[in-house]
Structure 1
Amino acid sequence: MDILVLVGRILFALPFLAFGANHLLKTPYMAGYAESKGLPAAKATTILSGVLLVVGGLSVLLGVWADLGLLLLLVFLIPTTLVMHAFWRESTPDGRQAEMTQFLKNVGLTGAALALLAFVSFTGDELGLTVTGPLFSMD
C-alpha cells in the first residue's frame, strides 16, 4: 500500500511542479496571459502562484507536511479555476472549449487534492514513505 500511495503522490505532484516551473521560468509569458484575463499585478501574482505550485508540489511529492502542501495547491487551484478559466466569458466556441477543458481539469485536480488531503490527514503518521507526518490533525 505504501508504494501505491507514493506512486500516486508522485503522479499527482508532477503536473504542479511542471506548472510551477512554467510560472517561474516563463514569467513574462505567463504574466501576459494573466493580464489578458484582467488579473491585477499579473507578474507578482504569476511569481507567487509559481512558488505555491512548487512548494505545494514538493511537499506532496516528498511527504513533508503533505497536508500543508495540498492546502497550498488548493489555494492556487480554486481562484485560478474561477478567474483564469472562466469559460462562460469566452466569446468564441474554440476559446470556450479550451477554457472549459482547463476548468474541468482544475476541478478534477481540486477534487483529488481534497480527497488526498482527507486521506493524508486521517492516516496521520501511519502513512508510510513520507519524511514527516501531517502538520494538521483531523481527529
Structure 2
Amino acid sequence: MDVLVLIGRVLFSVLFLSSALGHFTQTEAMAGYAKSRGLPQPKIAVLGAGVLLALGGLSVLLGVWADLGALLLVITLLPMALLMHQFWKETDPQAKQGEMIQFNKDLALAGASLMLVAFFAHVDELGLTITGPLFTCL
C-alpha cells in the first residue's frame, strides 16, 4: 500500500510542480493574464502562487509535512478558481467553456487536496514519507 500512496503522491504533484515552474518561467505572460482579470499586483500574485504551488507540491511529493503541503494547495487553488476563472462573466461561449473547465479543475484539485490533508493527518502508518503530519488534531 505504501508504494501506491507514493505513486499517487508523485502523479498528484507533477501538475503543481510543472505549474509552479510555469509561474517562474512565464511570469510576465501570466501576470498579463492576471492583470486582465483585475488582480492587483499581478506579478506578485503570480510569483506568490508559484511559491505556494512549489512548496505544496514538493511537500506532498517528498512526504515532508504533506498535510501542510496539501493545505497550501487548497489555499492556492480556491482563490485561483474564484479570481482567475470566472466563467460566469464570459460572454463568448468558447471562452466561457474554457474558463468553466479551469474553474472545475481547480475546485476538484482543491477537494482532493483537502482530502489529502485529512488523510495525512489521520493515517497512522503513512510509509515512504520523510516526516509525519504536522497536524494531528484535525
TM-score normalised per structure 1: 0.96
Q: Percent identity?
A: 55
Asked if residue 110 in structure 1 is aligned to residue 74 in structure 2, the reply is: no
Alignment match, 1:43: 43
Superposition RMSD in Å:
0.9
Secondary structure, counterpart of 1:131 in structure 2: coil
Partner AA of 2:16 in structure 1: F
Partner AA of 1:79 in structure 2: P
Secondary structure, counterpart of 2:115 in structure 1: helix
Alignment match, 1:134: 133
Alignment match, 2:25: 25
- Give a deviation string over 1:61-120, Cα, whole Å, max 9, x none: 000000110111111001001110110011100110000000111111011111111111
Contact 2:20 2:53 in 1 (8 A): yes
Alignment match, 2:8: 8
How far 1:138 moved relative to its partner? Answer: 2.9
Contact 2:13 2:61 in 1 (8 A): yes
CA distance in 2, matches of 1:99, 1:138: 37
Contact 2:90 2:96 in 1 (8 A): yes
How far 1:31 moved relative to its partner? Answer: 0.4
CA distance in 1, matches of 2:108, 2:4: 20
Alignment match, 2:91: 91
- Give a deviation string over 1:8-38, Cα, whole Å, max 9, x none: 1111111000111000111000100100100
Bigger mean CA deviation after superposition, 110-119 or 37-46 = 110-119
CA distance in 2, matches of 1:115, 1:55: 18
TM-score normalised per structure 2: 0.97
Secondary structure, counterpart of 1:64 in structure 2: coil
Asked if residue 122 in structure 1 is aligned to residue 132 in structure 2, the reply is: no
